């Protein structure tokens, strides 16, 4: 077991596990955000629960932060190692003949998602941490009502921010179109279910980002 | 109709030379020629002019030995599928085409001269565990005496068809050797004779693969598409499972 992360397959396995964890997180994030379209009150209640329940805040949140950091740091490490494995490039390379654009450009789609996450953290996560753990206000209230839905809608007033979110989710879809199946292959799951999984992965990879785009546009266009 | 072609070929005097692409013209090339025969024509021209012929690897010229390499117009073994370069025919090209010919590129496959690369890193990976230990001193047990599930036997045979040409490494954007190593691990892991040394085999072969400087597989699948023998990505998944199980054991 020792030194498994020093091997190419160990790193690939760890990358896949962090990816699978992030994909499960993405699904629950989407499910909660979708509530905002149907009911501001329900969205407020669930957001308050997620923002104050100890297991989410002190167990799951640190795991999530670790998972995100691990995934992109390992992504950079693998990219550097892989570049070293071919120091002289081909004069002519026809990558499109044997692989998808998504599979060849995970580092670029990943970097776009990372840039988006900086914006997303500035928009939501940092103010949330500041209010709860620096100011010390765990009530979730503002002017006598829950603040979460109001904060969400307010952020999506800006067309520039909505545009940035839409672009980021397109990159997320491109990343997932390769990443979803790739994670299963990396953990050694390539069997009779792979074909069905590939179909499901397309639904997930396009459906979830499209859903996030819908939520952002919904609040931008309706103003509530 | 015979063709006139422009060739852009990587020329490199020796392993330490910097190397560069050089343009050549070949005329009256028959579409029925193999790609290597076309290069033979070029070399004949060069020799007649007193120039150094282009060095390239070849041996059986019937798609079995895995010796011929070449990255042709941006693909290992050229634009056709399920073939080695010696099986690539000039009918795949048109009169007036420009063909770019490069050596397989990978840090673990250093260029020896022109289009010839040193693929002995594959040999060292094989030495690290690509074998089974059998008493051959007159007491060898008939392999067929051990029943093998037909599905496993077929998969093992498919994996064993890998000729170690290196097209997987050349095609992979990461220069990963995992299709080759996956095939070599699988051909033994699937059979009862190979199970005894399975743990050490996969650990040692992967360790050697990493030490040789091959990249990390990111599952683009380019290797599977370009493999002349159609080795499947399932072999990489099997190797991953074998490696993880072996790591937990060992």
pLDDT tens digit string along A93-115? 999 999 999 999 999 999 999 99
Contacts of A1 in chain B (CB under 8 A): 247-248, 250
Query: Same structural domain for residues B176 and B107?
Result: no
Is the confidence at residue B138, as pLDDT, over 90? Answer: no
- Give a three-class secondary structure readout of chain B: CCEEEEEEEEECCCCCCCCEEEEEEEEEECCCCEHHHHHHHHHHHHHHCCCCCCCCCCCCCCCCCCCCCCEECCEECCCCCCCCHHHCEHHHCCCCCEEEEECCCCCCCCEEECCEECCHHHHHHHHHHCCCCCCCCCCCCCHHHCCCCHHHHHHHHHHHCCCCCCHHHHHCCCCCCHHHHHHHHHHHHCCHHHHCCHHHHHHHHHHHHHHCCCCCCCCCCHHHHHCCCCCCCHHHHHHHHHHHHHHHHC
Q: What is the CATH number of the domain that holds B42?
A: 3.10.20.30
Res A183: pLDDT:
96
Mean pLDDT of chain B: 96
Query: Same structural domain for residues B109 and B130?
Result: no
Distances (CA, A) of A82 to A77, A212, B111, B172, B176: 9, 33, 19, 10, 8
Query: Same structural domain for residues B10 and B49?
Result: yes
Is the confidence at residue B250, as pLDDT, over 80? Answer: no
CB-closest option in B102, B213, B226 to A91: B102
Query: Same structural domain for residues B71 and B49?
Result: yes
Res A223: pLDDT:
85
Distances (CA, A) of A116 to A1, A2, A209, B70, B112: 36, 36, 13, 41, 46
Query: Same structural domain for residues B134 and B109?
Result: no
Is the confidence at residue A4, as pLDDT, over 80? Answer: no
Query: Same structural domain for residues B99 and B128?
Result: no
Query: Same structural domain for residues B90 and B153?
Result: no
Query: Same structural domain for residues B12 and B107?
Result: yes
Q: What total number of domains does chain B contain? A: 2
Q: What is the average pLDDT across A191-220?
A: 95
Kindly indicate the confidence band of residue B157, based on its pLDDT and cuts at 50, 70 and 90: very high
Q: What is the dihedral of CA A109, A115, A118, A124, to 10 degrees?
A: -60
Kindly indicate the confidence band of residue B171, based on its pLDDT and cuts at 50, 70 and 90: very high
Query: Same structural domain for residues B42 and B132?
Result: no
Res B100: pLDDT:
98
Kindly indicate the confidence band of residue B61, based on its pLDDT and cuts at 50, 70 and 90: very high
Roughly what angle, to the nearest 10 degrees, separates helices B198-211 and B234-249?
Answer: 110
Q: What is the CATH number of the domain that holds B212?
A: 1.10.1060.10
Contacts of A93 in chain B (CB under 8 A): 71, 74
Contacts of B171 in chain A (CB under 8 A): 98
Is the confidence at residue A2, as pLDDT, over 70? Answer: no
Query: Same structural domain for residues B103 and B157?
Result: no
Query: At which of B72, B89, B113 does a domain end?
Result: B113
Res A152: pLDDT:
94
pLDDT tens digit string along A54-72? 999 999 999 999 999 999 9
- Give a three-class secondary structure readout of chain A: CCCHHHCHHHHHHHHHHHHHHHHHHHHHHHHHHHHHHHCHHHHHHHHHHHHHCHHHHHHHHHHHHHHHHHHHHHHHHHHHHHHHCCCCCCCCCCHHHCCCHHHHCHHHHHHHHHHHHHHHHHHHHHHHHHHHHHCCCCCCEECCEECHHHHHHHHCCCHHHHHHHHHHHHHHHHHHHHHHHHHHHHCCCCCCCHHHHHHHHHHHHHHHHHHHHHHHHHHHHHCC
Res B139: pLDDT:
81
Query: At which of B52, B86, B113 does a domain end?
Result: B113
Res B1: pLDDT:
86
Res B143: pLDDT:
80
List the domain range (segments joined by +) for residue B97: 3-113
pLDDT tens digit string along A140-192? 888 889 999 999 999 999 999 999 999 999 999 999 999 999 999 999 998 88
pLDDT tens digit string along B97-134? 999 999 999 999 999 999 999 999 999 999 999 999 98
Query: Same structural domain for residues B102 and B131?
Result: no
Name the percent of chain B lying above pLDDT 70. Answer: 100
pLDDT tens digit string along B176-222? 999 999 999 999 999 999 999 999 999 999 999 999 999 999 999 99
Within the 213-232 window of chain B, which residues sit less than 8 Å (CB to CB) from chain A?
Answer: 213-222, 225-226
Query: Same structural domain for residues B86 and B166?
Result: no
Res A40: pLDDT:
95
Q: Is A201 on the interface with B (CB under 8 A)?
A: no
């Amino acid at each position: 077991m020792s030194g498994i992360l020093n091997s190419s397959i160990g790193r690939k396995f760890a990358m896949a596990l962090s990816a699978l964890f992030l994909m499960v997180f993405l699904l629950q994030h989407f499910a909660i955000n979708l509530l905002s379209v149907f009911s501001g009150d329900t969205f407020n209640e669930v957001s308050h629960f997620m923002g104050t329940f100890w297991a989410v805040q002190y167990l799951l949140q640190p795991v999530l932060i670790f998972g995100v950091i691990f995934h992109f740091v390992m992504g950079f490490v693998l990219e550097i190692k892989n570049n070293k494995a071919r120091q002289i490039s081909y004069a002519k390379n026809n990558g499109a003949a044997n692989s998808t654009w998504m599979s060849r450009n995970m580092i670029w789609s990943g970097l776009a998602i990372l840039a988006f996450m900086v914006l997303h953290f500035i928009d939501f996560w940092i103010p949330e941490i500041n209010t709860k753990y620096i100011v010390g206000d765990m009530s979730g209230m503002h002017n006598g009502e829950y603040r979460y839905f109001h904060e969400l809608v307010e952020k999506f007033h800006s067309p520039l921010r909505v545009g940035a979110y839409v672009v980021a989710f397109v990159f997320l879809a491109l990343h997932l179109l390769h990443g979803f199946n790739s994670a299963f292959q990396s953990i050694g799951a390539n069997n009779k279910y792979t074909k069905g999984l590939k179909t499901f992965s397309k639904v997930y990879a396009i459906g979830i980002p499209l859903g996030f785009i819908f939520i952002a546009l919904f609040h931008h266009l309706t103003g509530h | 109709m015979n063709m006139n072609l422009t060739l852009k070929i990587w020329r490199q005097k020796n392993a330490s030379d910097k190397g560069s692409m050089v343009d050549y013209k070949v005329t009256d090339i028959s579409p029925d020629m193999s790609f290597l025969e076309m290069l033979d024509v070029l070399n004949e021209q060069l020799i007649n002019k007193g120039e150094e012929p282009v060095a390239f690897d070849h041996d059986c010229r019937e798609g079995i030995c895995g010796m011929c390499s070449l990255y042709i117009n941006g693909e290992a073994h050229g634009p056709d599928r399920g073939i080695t370069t010696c099986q690539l025919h000039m009918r795949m090209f048109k009169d007036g085409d420009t063909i770019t010919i490069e050596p397989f590129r990978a840090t673990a496959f250093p260029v020896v001269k022109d289009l010839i690369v040193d693929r002995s890193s594959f040999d060292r990976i094989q030495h690290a565990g690509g074998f089974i230990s059998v008493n051959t001193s007159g007491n060898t047990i008939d392999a067929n005496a051990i029943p093998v599930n037909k599905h496993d036997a077929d998969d093992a045979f498919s994996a064993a068809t890998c000729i170690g040409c290196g097209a997987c490494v050349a095609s992979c954007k990461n220069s990963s050797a995992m299709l080759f190593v996956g095939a070599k691990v699988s051909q033994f892991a699937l059979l009862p004779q190979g199970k005894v040394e399975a743990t050490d085999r996969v650990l040692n072969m992967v360790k050697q693969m990493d030490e040789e400087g091959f990249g990390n597989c990111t599952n683009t699948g380019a290797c599977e598409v370009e493999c002349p023998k159609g080795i499947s990505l399932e072999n990489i998944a099997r190797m991953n499972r074998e490696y993880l199980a072996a790591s937990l054991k060992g």
